[in-house]
Amino acid sequence: MRLMLKHIFVLTAFVIALSGTALAQNASEIAKVQSGQSCAGCNLFQAELSYSTLSGLNLSGSRLRQANMTIAIMDHADLSGANLSIANLYGARLTGANCKGTNFEDAILVATYLGGVNFSGANLNNTNLSGAEAATAIGLTQTQLNTACGDDSTQLPTGLILRKCQ
């Protein structure tokens, strides 16, 4: 029995070690995006992209979890199906970006310009939209906003409301 438990422990430790490596950021893919190149499906975990111009880039399906995109310009970027959970997009501009099915859970979209952004099927759970300009956003629903928060300066499409952030 002890030998079997030891084997299970060693196997579990091995699997955890492999999964940690598989989820680590990919420096060459981050450098590619920092230089202005598209990178669909890339691992951009914790990427430093603040003040970057990422307009028109295809980052669909990419892992941008915990990325810093403060004041980045992402006009018409394809972020569909991307994971932007816990990402910081403070003051970013996403004019006309495709965020269909994008995961923004726990993300900071404070003072972000979201004009014409497609939010169809996006996850906005615990997303902070304080001061965001989303009056012309597409596909934004009350159900999505019920799990997000904002403030009095948040601009939404007519008829939609948002609870206040604590």
Check if the beta carbon of residue 144 is closer than 8 Å to that of residue 156.
no
Summarize pLDDT for 27-69 with one digit per residue, the tens.
999 999 999 999 999 999 999 999 999 999 999 999 999 999 9
What distance in Å separates the CA atoms of residue 33 and residue 20, rounded to the nearest whole number? 23
The predicted structure's pLDDT at residue 25: 87
Q: Which tens digit of pLDDT belongs to each residue from 118-156?
A: 999 999 999 999 999 999 999 999 999 999 999 999 999
Amino acid 67: pLDDT: 98
SS3 content of the chain, % helix, strand, coil (to 5): 20, 15, 65
- What are the domain boundaries of the chain? 42-158
Tokens coding 124: 């906005």
Q: In CATH, which of 2.160.20.80, 1.10.3720.10, 3.90.1150.10, 2.30.30.90 is domain 42-158?
A: 2.160.20.80
Average confidence score pLDDT of the chain: 90
The three state secondary structure string of 37-100 is: CCCCCCECCCCECCCCECCCCECCCCECCCCECCCCECCCCECCCCECCCCECCCCECCCCECC
Q: Phi, psi (5° rounding) for residue 143?
A: -60, -45
